[in-house]
């Protein structure tokens, strides 16, 4: 089984990708898309279709079901190559690092480059951590596709992260610049730096000021990070807050609890470095309603 998405993508022929896209479309109706349907929809001879399916299965892009009918389902790796292919066609990505720069529970992150030579980070979402997954609007939109819940959750995470990055970046916060998103993948600018938790010395006052600035910008836009910790701050010349898929709107009933937890994580870390964070001042902010605008985004999404 292939481990890296880059290696996986290279192993595919044009026809394989087309077959994979057909199966993706077939998932609207079927958890396992009947082999018969795939063969009928594809503009290839039956042997060619079966040959592609065999290769896609061998490389780990498909899972098979044999009873009550022979059918195929796309794996996480399969969706990775579909998204990568689309982003390459849209000229958002030229190349990716051969191995990931970060592997977490909820994502795999690669470094890369755009066709114009801009350095990027490409985040493939794996989990569905967005606070909006429990919202009525999201639930009702995906109700018809309960067999695709994992797919929708990872896509929701990507859209949520892209939304938060866009708002905060426009608002002048220190976050990676969002460049594109497709399916469950987010492309953003690459931040040169180290994770804050790894830093043993440095100007911690300046770092804290940068992080607080970004958190305040986000708050003023109605956005609470929700997973703030020294793991999600990258320190270079300036300090950037990353990892936003789980952001929580300030209108959320539990908003205050999330916000307090974020601040508790931060202030505990900075305290050890001799920096006090002025909490009351940071929390004294007038919020706007970010949830409503985000729901509009969800409404626009077709998800499949």
> What is the contact surface with ligand ATP in residues (CB under 6 A)?
101-102, 104-107, 109, 121, 123, 129, 176, 188, 190-191, 195, 232, 234, 242-243
What is the CA angle 157-148-178, rounded to 5? 25
Q: Which is nearer to Mg ion, 85 or 123 (CB)?
A: 123
DSSP 192: P
The site partner of 217 among ligand ATP, Mg ion, none (C-beta below 5 to 8 Å per kind) is none
Supply the minimum distance, in Å, between the C-beta of residue 120 and ligand ATP: 8
Contacting Mg ion (CB under 5 A), which of 232, 239, 246, 250? 232
Rounded Cα–Cα distance for residues 107 and 154 (Å):
9
Q: Cβ neighbours of residue 248 under 8 Å, at least 6 residues apart?
A: 131, 223, 224, 226, 254, 255, 258
- Please confirm, yes or no, whether 227 is among the known catalytic residues: yes
Supply the minimum distance, in Å, between the C-beta of residue 130 and ligand ATP: 11
Q: Which is nearer to Mg ion, 199 or 304 (CB)?
A: 199
Rounded Cα–Cα distance for residues 242 and 30 (Å):
36
> What sign has the CA pseudo-torsion 144, 149, 152, 153?
positive
Q: Which of 16, 80, 210, 227 is catalytic?
A: 227
The site partner of 190 among Mg ion, ligand ATP, none (C-beta below 5 to 8 Å per kind) is ligand ATP
The site partner of 114 among Mg ion, ligand ATP, none (C-beta below 5 to 8 Å per kind) is none
Supply the minimum distance, in Å, between the C-beta of residue 189 and ligand ATP: 6
The site partner of 24 among ligand ATP, Mg ion, none (C-beta below 5 to 8 Å per kind) is none
- Mask for 243-272, x = binds Mg ion (CB under 5 A): x-----------------------------
Q: Please, what is the end-to-end C-alpha distance for the chain in angstroms?
A: 26
DSSP 226: S
CB under 5 A: which stretch of 9-17, 79-87, 157-165, 228-236 binds Mg ion? Answer: 228-236
Supply the minimum distance, in Å, between the C-beta of residue 143 and ligand ATP: 26
How many residues appear in the chain? 304
Q: Please give the sequence-ordered ranges of beta strands (E in DSSP) within 91-137, or none if there are none.
A: 95-96, 102-103, 107-113, 119-125
Q: Which is nearer to Mg ion, 80 or 161 (CB)?
A: 161
CB under 5 A: which stretch of 11-19, 22-30, 51-59, 227-235 binds Mg ion? Answer: 227-235
By CB under 5 A, is residue 107 in contact with Mg ion? Answer: no
Q: Cβ neighbours of residue 67 under 8 Å, at least 6 residues apart?
A: none
Rounded Cα–Cα distance for residues 213 and 206 (Å):
11
Q: Cβ neighbours of residue 122 under 8 Å, at least 6 residues apart?
A: 87, 93, 96, 109, 110, 111, 112, 185, 186, 187
Q: Which is nearer to Mg ion, 80 or 243 (CB)?
A: 243
- Please give the positions annotated as active site: 227
Residues found near Mg ion in the complex (CB under 5 A): 232, 243
């Amino acid at each position: 089984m292939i481990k890296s998405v880059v290696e996986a993508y290279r192993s595919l022929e044009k026809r394989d990708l087309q077959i994979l896209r057909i199966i993706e479309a077939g998932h609207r109706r079927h958890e396992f898309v009947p082999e018969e349907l795939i063969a009928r929809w594809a503009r290839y001879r039956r042997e060619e279709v079966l040959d592609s399916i065999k290769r896609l299965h061998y490389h780990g892009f498909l899972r098979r079901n044999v009873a009550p009918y022979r059918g195929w389902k796309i794996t996480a790796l399969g969706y990775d190559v579909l998204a990568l292919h689309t982003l390459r066609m849209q000229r958002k990505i030229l190349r990716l690092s051969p191995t990931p720069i970060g592997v977490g529970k909820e994502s795999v992150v690669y470094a890369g480059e755009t066709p114009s030579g801009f350095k990027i980070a490409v985040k493939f979402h794996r989990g569905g951590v967005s606070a909006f997954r429990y919202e009525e609007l999201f639930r009702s939109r995906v109700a018809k596709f309960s067999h695709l819940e994992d797919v929708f959750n990872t896509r929701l995470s990507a859209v949520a992260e892209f939304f938060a990055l866009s708002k905060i970046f426009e608002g002048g916060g220190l976050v990676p610049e969002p460049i594109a998103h497709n399916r469950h993948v987010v492309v953003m600018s690459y931040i040169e730096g180290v994770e804050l938790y790894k830093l043993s010395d440095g100007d911690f006052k300046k770092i804290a000021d940068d992080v607080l600035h970004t958190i305040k910008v986000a708050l003023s836009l109605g956005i609470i990070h929700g997973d703030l910790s020294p793991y999600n701050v990258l320190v270079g010349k300036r300090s950037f807050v990353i990892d936003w898929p789980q952001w929580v709107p300030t209108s959320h009933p539990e908003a205050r609890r999330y916000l307090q937890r974020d601040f508790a994580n931060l202030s505990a870390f900075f305290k050890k470095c001799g920096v006090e964070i002025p909490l009351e001042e940071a929390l004294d902010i007038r919020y706007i309603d970010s949830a409503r605008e985000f729901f509009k985004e969800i409404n626009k999404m077709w998800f499949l």
